[in-house]
A and B are shown apart, each in its own frame.
Chain A
Amino acid sequence: MVKLIVDGKEIKADEGRSVLQSCIENGMFIPNMCFIKKRQHPPASCRLCFVEIDGFDPPVTSCTEEVREGLVIRTDTAAVRRLQRTAFKLLMSAHHCEPKHCPVKGNCQLIRIAKHLNVGLTPKPLELLERDVEEEVDFAFFTYYPFRCVLCGKCVYICRQINGHNLLTFANRGFDTVIAFFGSGDPARFPCHRCGACASICPTGALVRKPECKRASGVTP
C-alpha cells in the first residue's frame, strides 16, 4: 500500500496500480475512454485522463503512471482541463451524438465526461468530421456503426484477450480507420455465439449485438 495525495486528499492505493485506476477506485472520477483494468500496456490513446503530478512539468496521462509513495496529484488544473476539453471535442467531432437512436441508455461515458468537463456534447467550435464511411456495417453477429465509434480500441483488445486470434481489428488508416471483422472458416464455429464481450465493453454503442444472436446465446450486452 502506498499513500498519495489527490486534489489535497490523501488516498491509499495498491502498488503497481496506475494513478487512474487508484483514483477511480477511491471514488475520484478522471475522464477516460480507452482504459481497461489489468491491461499491461495502456495505449493512452483517448488523451482524456490527464493529471498534473508534482515533479513533472507538463500534464501526464494518468493511465500510464504508476502510483508511488508521496505523489502529489491534481486533476483539475487549467492546463489539464484545457487538454481534456480539446481531446473531448475532437472525439465528439467523430462521434455523431443522436440520443434518440442511441442504444447506450443512461450510463453514457461521454455524457458523464461532458458533465465533468462542463462542456456540451457537440464538437463546437470544431467542425463535425465528415468521414467517407458507411452508416452501418454488418459484422455477422454484430452491427457496427462507424459514426458512433471513437476508436478507443477496447473491443479489439478484449477480443484478442478472450479469443486469442482476434476477430476484430483496426482497418485502414488515418481518418478512414474503422473497426473491421474478419473470421475465417465456418461462422457456426466463431466464438461470437457465446462471447459478445466487444459489444458489452463498447462505451459508445458503436458495436451492437444483433437481436437474434442475443436470444441464441442468452448473453445480454
Chain B
Amino acid sequence: MAELVCMTVFESDPEERAVLENVAAMLEEFEKQRGNLIPILQAIQDKHSYLCGGAMEMVANHLDVALGEVYGVATFYNQFRFHPPGRHQIKVCLGTACHVAGGDIILENFERKLGIKDGETTPDREYSVERVACVGCCALAPVAVINDTVEGHIKPSRVEGIFVQFQVEREREEREEAERESSE
C-alpha cells in the first residue's frame, strides 16, 4: 500500500521535476471539474506509469479540491501506483482460488526476499511487487505473473529459483556485452 505520509515534500530530483513539468502541461487540457479527478490521475499514470506526490498536489490545486481527497481516491483504487514500476514486474495473484491455495504466502516470500512491500519498487528499480485480483487461470493456483510469464502452482522454493534465473540472465548479458566490447 501507499506510504501515507503526513505532508508531501517536493523532492528536487531531476526526474520528478521533469514529470511535474509534463503534468503541468497535461492539466491544461482538462476542465476544472471535480469529475475530472479520476481521468486526470489515469492520464498521468498512463504517461508516467506512477503518481508522485508532487503531481497529486498539482492535481488538487488545478481542480481546487483538498489534497486529501486526491489521495483518498488514488489509494482507494488498486489501479493507481505510487512507485515507479521496476524493470522486472512481479504480480502475485490473490484472487479467491489463489488466496485459498496460499497466494499470500507467495507474496510474503517475494516481499521478504526483496525487502519491500506490495506496491513498492526496490531502490535500484530492478523489481516491483504488486498484488492482483485474478489473472484468469485459477486451475494453476497459486499463480504469479513475472514479466508477462505466468508461473503456475508456484511454491515458496520457486521464488528463490526465479531470482536465480534473473541473476543468471543478468550475468549472461554482462558477459556478452564484455565480449562485444573486446571484439570491437
CB atoms of A171 and B72 under 8 A apart:
yes
Partner of A180, one of B57, B60, B71, B77: B71
Which label, helix, strand, loop or mixed, suits the secondary structure of the A interface? Answer: mixed
What are 14 A-to-B residue pairs whose CB atoms are below 8 Å?
A: A138-B6, A167-B68, A171-B2, A171-B4, A171-B76, A172-B4, A172-B75, A176-B1, A180-B4, A180-B72, A181-B68, A182-B66, A184-B57, A187-B7
Contacts of B19 in A (CB 8 A): none
Instruction: Tell me the A68-111 residues at the B interface (CB within 8 Å).
Output: none
Q: Looking across the interface, which residue of chain A has its beta carbon closest to that of B70?
A: A182
With the chains together, A178 CA to B5 CA distance in Å? 13
What sequence of 0s and 1s flags, for each residue 1-28 of chain B, a beta carbon within 8 Å of any chain A beta carbon? Answer: 1101011100000000000000000000
Q: Are A166 and B66 CB-contacts (below 8 A) given A171-B71, A173-B75, A182-B71?
A: yes
B46 interface residue, CB < 8 Å from A? no
Q: Does B65 make an interface contact (CB < 8 A)?
A: yes
**Assembly CA distance A160 to B8 (angstroms):** 20
In the complex, A178 Cα to B75 Cα: how many Å? 11
Say if the beta carbon of B67 comes within 8 Å of chain A.
yes
The 7 closest A-B CB pairs, nearest first, are: A169-B68, A165-B66, A182-B68, A169-B72, A171-B75, A182-B67, A180-B4
CA distance A160 to B66 in the complex (A): 9
> What number of residue pairs across chains A and B have CB atoms under 8 A from each other?
63
CB–CB B7/A182 < 8 A: yes
A160 to B68, CA, bound (A): 11
Q: Which residue of B lies closest to A165 (CB)?
A: B66
Known: A166-B69, A169-B68. A184 touches B76 (CB 8 A): no
- Does A183 contact B1, Cβ atoms closer than 8 Å? no
Chain A residues packing against B (C-beta within 8 Å): 137-140, 160, 164-173, 176, 178, 180-184, 187
In whole angstroms, how far apart are the Cα atoms of A23 and B181 in the complex?
A: 85
Which residues of B pack against A, CB within 8 Å? 1-2, 4, 6-8, 57, 60, 65-69, 71-72, 75-77
A137–B6 Cα distance when bound, in Å, is: 9
Of the candidates A139, A140, A180, A184, the one having the most CB atoms from chain B within 10 angstroms of its own CB is: A184
Q: What distance in Å separates the Cβ of B32 from its nearest Cβ neighbour in chain A?
A: 15
Give the nearest-CB partner of B74 in chain A: A171
A167 CB to closest chain B CB (Å) equals 6
A169-B69, A182-B66, A184-B60 known; A139 and B6 CB under 8 Å? Answer: yes
Would A182 and B6 count as touching, CB distance under 8 A? yes
Verify B6–A184 contact, CB threshold 8 A.
Answer: no
* CA gap between A176 and B77 in the complex, in Å: 12
The one of A140, A164, A169, A173 that contacts B6, using a Cβ cutoff of 8 Å: A140
Contacts of A165 in B (CB 8 A): 65-68
B53 to chain A, nearest CB (A): 9
Residues of B within 8 A of A137 (CB): 4
Chain A residue nearest to B65 in the complex (CB): A165
- B6, A181: Cβ atoms under 8 Å? yes
Contacts of B71 in A (CB 8 A): 169, 171, 180, 182
Q: Please, which residues of chain A bring their CB within 8 A of the CB of B72? A: 169-171, 180
